[in-house]
Structure 1
Amino acid sequence: MHDTIFLNGLKFYGYHGALAAENEIGQIFIVDVTLKVDLTEAGHSDDVADTVHYGEVFEDVKAIMEGTAVNLLEHLAERIAKRINSHYNRVMETKVRITKENPPIPGHYDGVGIEIVREND
């Protein structure tokens, strides 16, 4: 099965980072979330109860990204994946990508970040 629900380009302002400047000034974080879900039942029923409500997933991600500051993107991604996998039993796998477009490091780039994939046990 290759069904997915995705939330792309979610933008949040936060103070996450290992560098003091990141904690003081803050920055915009871009989050992409992809959920592996069997969408067959929802496709037939036309009922939101038969899928994963992406508005609720957005609120879960927002609470973590705009919450208490942490040092590592890896930690934020783990928290997001754990929250989704533990609250939505239809999700078989969660992929989380977090990008910093303007971290305080010299150079020319579109962004830096991480991506994790976690199966739902």
Structure 2
Amino acid sequence: MTSPFSGDRIILSDLGFYGYHGLYSEENALGQRFFIDLQCGVDLSGPAETDAIGATVSYADIYEAVKSAFETKRMNLIEAVAQNIVDAIFAAFADVGWVIVRVRKPEAPIAMVRGEAAIELHRLRPPA
């Protein structure tokens, strides 16, 4: 059985942003770093064959959609931040059939010496 999250993809990794997402007043006042990893399922056979920029979804445009979704709306939970990003990608790029997004929070308010807290969403484009 083939996974619905298989095939061609555009990948953006380790995108860094500073934001004010979180439940606690310190997070809202001081902000913190977040890192986002993203995979977008899109057929890349056209640009692979033609070498033409117009035959693909631009990863620069995907980055701008992620940045806007991250910065426009403050959220309590990183799950909601991730869903907001997914919704923005689906709204902006009709050719994207699925999205995997991981939001990482290295300064999560827990007593860890090293590491990060993270969530990952796997979303298929909803039927039209």
Please indicate the TM-score interval, normalised by the length of the shorter structure.
Answer: over 0.9
Question: 1:1-121 maps to which residues of 2 (within 5 A)?
Answer: 2-121=7-126
Q: Secondary structure at the match of 1:38?
A: coil
TM-score normalised to the size of structure 2?
0.89
Find runs of 4+ consecutive structure 1 residues off by over 2 angstroms: none
Please, which runs of 5 or more residues in structure 1 have no aligned partner? none
Percentage of matched positions with identical amino acids: 35
Whether the aligned pair in 2 keeps the contact of 1:14 and 1:26 (CA below 8 Å) is yes
Instruction: Quote how far apart the aligned CAs of 1:41 are.
Output: 0.9
- Higher-strand-fraction structure: 1
Instruction: Quote how far apart the aligned CAs of 1:25 are.
Output: 0.8
TM-score normalised to the size of structure 1?
0.93
Instruction: Quote how far apart the aligned CAs of 1:68 are.
Output: 3.0
Q: Secondary structure at the match of 2:111?
A: coil
Please, which runs of 5 or more residues in structure 2 have no aligned partner? 1-5
Q: CA RMSD in A?
A: 1.2
Q: Deviations over 1:33-68 (max 9, x none)?
A: 101111111111111221110101111111122223
Letter aligned with residue 26 of structure 1: G
